[in-house]
Amino acid sequence: MSSGPQVRLDQVELFHAPVLDPSSTPGLITGIPTAFSPDQLAETHRPVHRAEGAVDWGLVVALRRTAGTRITEQVQHEADQQRPLSEPDRRRMSHATIRRVVHERAEQLQAEGQAMWSTDLEEAYTRAVESAMFGYGRLQPLFEIAEAENIEIHGHDSVVVQYTDGTRRSHPPVADSDDELVEAIRFLGEQASPSRPFDDAHPTMTLALGDRFRLHAIGFGLAFRPSVTIRQHTLVDVTLPDLVAAGMLPEAVARYLHAAIQDRRSIVISGDQGAGKTTLLRALIAAIPDTERFGTIETDYELLTHLQPTRRNMIALQARIGLGERQDGRPLGEYTVADLLPEALRQNLTRIVVGEVRGVEAAAMFEAMSAGAGTMSTTHSHSASATMDRLAMRIAQGGSLQMADAYRQIAHNIGFLVHVTLIDDTWRGGTRQRFVSEIRQLTGTFEGERPTTHLCYRSLGPGDPETFFRPDPLTSQELARYAGAWPGRS
């Protein structure tokens, strides 16, 4: 056994995508040999009829294991000789090894009488092996579509990409079977930090992939076929002036919301799925002064504010799924959004952003609001007015408060309800429009048990002649002192 320091390939940071350990297969195809011999060629190369220049992903898995073994051995050898490779040298060696393995395979096939690979085909296999080793494997080409907004996978052979203009286009299969698709998704979950299980006991999974994508998967009998949706965060570093330029809201309304953030008013954004809630929340967060120390709490990282270079003094918290069970029935190691809140309150934060309120997060959001001003969150709802009822129901369902008490929490802790709307006319050749359609201010008074609101803004979309903006005069006066803080377009 070698006495030098142990080095694994997953220490070679070749790409920004998740770094995988190439000494182990992703589980897509098992039993692939780590080197090629004449007797093993038939096992590693399947005679599949495919378009000229297309990549055989079964062969890619075999090439990946061969290259991975060689790279690991070379890195370990250099470490044993007390001359560990620098990061640039590791990168060059890894690239060269993958290219050499692919070229050797092409020569081996040609020696057996098969057609000579073109330079372009060798390059395609080289890129595919790098993707399988350090990226997302057969899914990698989909992640490289800059205009993709949603990647919709229903079974291994139904792959549709929804683009930013709302159109959808079909793409080639991402696996050779549904089982292979499940294994590929499970592998991504295992490599995530923290890891996410995807199996019979955990038939759904949500995880962040890098700093641009969020994946949700469901299978194991809950869906007829395994289904995966991958959303790309196309607008991460976004401001209110940017949204004004995009037509999402008028400048006067954006200035009003910007001042409300400066004054630390609590805001809940509502809307249907895909309406732009998270994008608007990111823009509101961007209005928080850089001098403030605030925190975000999410089930999965999606706001990505902590990746902004100007946000060094903030904390981003993410829930964690536990494994196994304690005597109280809770999975060991589990941390929910509610569990993270008291930890966040010990971090000297000026305000807390709760990424999305789906259920139990409602109580955590109101606890954050009662602990300090300026809390923000998003939730699914069909209107700003309906948001109050949904939030109250979610709090009451948690058992901590009755409906009347929940309504009082809403009236006393929420400053504004902002609703965003999506109009999708792509089905008839039109476009999609996302816009702020309604803003209501909580007045602190009640009509029966239900809080009353002041309708500040309403619009049916850009160009609506009946759009009106009538903020409460007293509130406008209170916010006027922040007029000079408006940044203009970034």
Q: Where are the domains of the chain?
A: 9-135, 144-232, 240-485
- Name 203's Cβ contacts closer than 8 Å, sequence gap at least 6: 218, 219, 220, 221, 222
Instruction: Please report the pLDDT score of residue 437 as a whole number.
Output: 97
- Residues 200-247: tens digit of each pLDDT: 999 999 988 888 899 999 999 999 999 999 999 888 889 999 999 999
Query: What's the rounded Cα separation, in Å, for the pair 186 and 412?
Result: 44
- Residues 70-118: tens digit of each pLDDT: 988 998 898 888 888 887 888 889 899 999 999 999 999 999 999 999 9
| Contact by Cβ (8 Å): 461, 248 | no
Query: What's the rounded Cα separation, in Å, for the pair 357 and 369?
Result: 13
| Contact by Cβ (8 Å): 268, 376 | yes
Q: Please give the average per-residue pLDDT across 469-475, as a whole number.
A: 96
Instruction: Please report the pLDDT score of residue 419 as a whole number.
Output: 97
Query: What's the rounded Cα separation, in Å, for the pair 24 and 32?
Result: 11
In this prediction, residue 53 has a pLDDT band, given cuts at 50, 70 and 90, of: low
Q: Is residue 164 over pLDDT 70?
A: yes
Query: What's the rounded Cα separation, in Å, for the pair 364 and 370?
Result: 10
Average of per-residue pLDDT values in the chain: 84
Give me the CATH code for the 144-232 domain, please.
Answer: 3.30.450.90
Query: What's the rounded Cα separation, in Å, for the pair 417 and 475?
Result: 15
CATH code 3.40.50.300 for 240-485: yes
Instruction: Please report the pLDDT score of residue 29 as a whole number.
Output: 29
Q: Which residue has the higher pLDDT, 449 or 38?
A: 449
Neighbours of 210 (CB within 10 A): 15
Angle, helix 87-111 to helix 57-80, in steps of 10 degrees? 130
Please report, to the nearest 10 degrees, the dihedral formed by the alpha carbons of residues 86, 91, 93, 97 taken in order.
160
Q: Is residue 48 over pLDDT 70?
A: no
Q: Please give the average per-residue pLDDT across 188-207, as a whole number.
A: 86
In this prediction, residue 24 has a pLDDT band, given cuts at 50, 70 and 90, of: very low
Instruction: Please report the pLDDT score of residue 45 as a whole number.
Output: 37
Q: Is residue 55 over pLDDT 90?
A: no
Q: Which residue has the higher pLDDT, 383 or 184?
A: 383
The DSSP symbol for 85 reads P
Query: What's the rounded Cα separation, in Å, for the pair 126 and 108?
Result: 16
Query: What's the rounded Cα separation, in Å, for the pair 392 and 260?
Result: 23
Q: Tell me how far CA of residue 458 lies from CA of 294, 374, 419, 429, 445, in angstroms.
A: 30, 23, 9, 27, 21
In this prediction, residue 315 has a pLDDT band, given cuts at 50, 70 and 90, of: very high
Instruction: Please report the pLDDT score of residue 283 as a whole number.
Output: 96
Q: Tell me how far CA of residue 231 lies from CA of 94, 125, 148, 153, 267, in angstroms.
A: 31, 27, 8, 11, 25
